Amino acid sequence: MNTEKTHATNLDQQDDLKDFREEFFISNNSIYLDGNSLGLMSKRAEQAVHNVMDSWKAYAIEGWTEGEHPWFYLSENLGRMSASLIGAKPEEVIVTGSTTTNLHQLVSSFFKPKGKKTKIMADELNFPSDIYALKSQLQLHGLDPEEHLIQVKSKDQNTLETKDIIKAMTDDVALIVLPGVLYRSGQILDMETITKEAHKRGILIGFDLCHTIGSIPHHLSDWDVDFAFWCTYKHLNGGPGSVAGLYVNKQHFGNEPGLAGWFSSSKDKQFDMAHTLTPAPDASAYQIGTPHVLSAAPLLGSLELFQEAGMERVRKKSLQLTNYMMELIEAELMDYEFTIANPRDELTRGAHLFLEHQDAARICKALKADGVVPDFRTPNGIRLAPVALYNSFEDVWNSVQILKSIMKEERYKNFENKRGVIA
């Protein structure tokens, strides 16, 4: 393993995505490795917001149908721009709502308990918000979550085994909701195999793609996934609170959404003001309210960058960055009681590394004090996410050297080993 800085410099010179770094606002005083929580702002995203603001200024209410990006069709246009990121047909994708409201919409639409099929299957490592939503959906059906929510167990509290997921697909399961990538360890689930096995058993299945969209390629339509949902502020760099997205397989088109609203309507019927809904003929039907235009605007710029870069190239560099970081950690840091808890192989490793250490919280604080921005996950996890579009191999090298000096000099002991309000 070449641990010299010159090796990182050479890797950067060979990087065919290196010019995208210039598209982002990057601080000269820090190394940002938390793009899997909130991606950096791009110059195009900033300009897109200004352009939408200018449309508001110039057109007022006519902005709904006039200007470069008419607001009445903005959600659909952004859906088309997102489709290639998840391997879907353009009409199967809509940018709308937030992650959890979209999950509520999709479960309301697809969970139809009947006979003995009354259970929802999830996992015990999922992000809490998804579990909260699933429990509340069960309660709305008068079902006890303690009995009707199945959560697949993890043998090591970091990863899930496909065989355990399949084993949990009992004949009383009506719906499955799983993450595409586990938010702590970064493990990619085998979505294709899991979907195939679910359908063999007559179970509908959807995936939370918050940590996969913009970081790994997908083929949702080819895999025949029923639905999916995601946020856009992580790897997609849409900004804090940017509008989320959802996917519905075209085989489900024509059904009324579980939670109908103003923008569930077919565009040509929406202003008829009829009290009987005519649902849109595609994924647009799963919108509820008026689009959050200003919070969607940054995506016009950020999704354009992904169209230019292409997901295959993004994934290739992402793997190179995380491979390089793991090699450096193993060469430089293993004497300091770190455990690499993310999957090692490229098929199941997402876009971030997950280190475990008994002093993880204070180590994260020390890193931030020294200009490296990581992410702490309770109780003892450090997430490091070198992002393909704006992080360099030199960023990775410098981060590991800074972490090594913190451990060697025990500077982390200057901080309390307790998370902040936001970790």
pLDDT class for 422, splitting at 50, 70, 90?
confident
- Contact at 8 Å (CB) between 208 and 177? yes
Residue 266 confidence (pLDDT)? 97
Examine the pLDDT at 369 and tell me if it is beyond 90: yes
> What is the mean predicted confidence (pLDDT) over 182-199?
98
What's the first-to-final CA gap in the chain, in angstroms? Answer: 33
Q: How far is CA 31 from the centre of its chain?
A: 21
208: annotated binding-site residue?
yes
128: annotated binding-site residue?
yes
100: annotated binding-site residue?
yes
Examine the pLDDT at 173 and tell me if it is beyond 80: yes
84: annotated binding-site residue?
no
Closest-CA residue to 375 (of 416, 320, 422): 422
99: annotated binding-site residue?
yes
Q: How far is CA 68 from the centre of its chain?
A: 28
pLDDT class for 421, splitting at 50, 70, 90?
confident
CATH topology of domain 5-32+310-412: Aspartate Aminotransferase, domain 1 (3.90.1150)
127: annotated binding-site residue?
yes
71: annotated binding-site residue?
no
> What is the mean predicted confidence (pLDDT) over 161-174?
98
190: annotated binding-site residue?
no
CATH number of 47-308: 3.40.640.10
pLDDT class for 350, splitting at 50, 70, 90?
very high
127-148 tens-digit pLDDT: 999 999 999 999 999 999 999 9
If you search the block for the tokens 């190179």, which residue do you land on? Answer: 320
Give CA separation, 227 vs 147, 165, 189, 208, in Å.
24, 18, 16, 9
Distance CA 179, CA 210 (A): 8
What's the whole-model pTM score?
0.97
Domain boundaries, the chain: 5-32+310-412, 47-308
pLDDT class for 212, splitting at 50, 70, 90?
very high
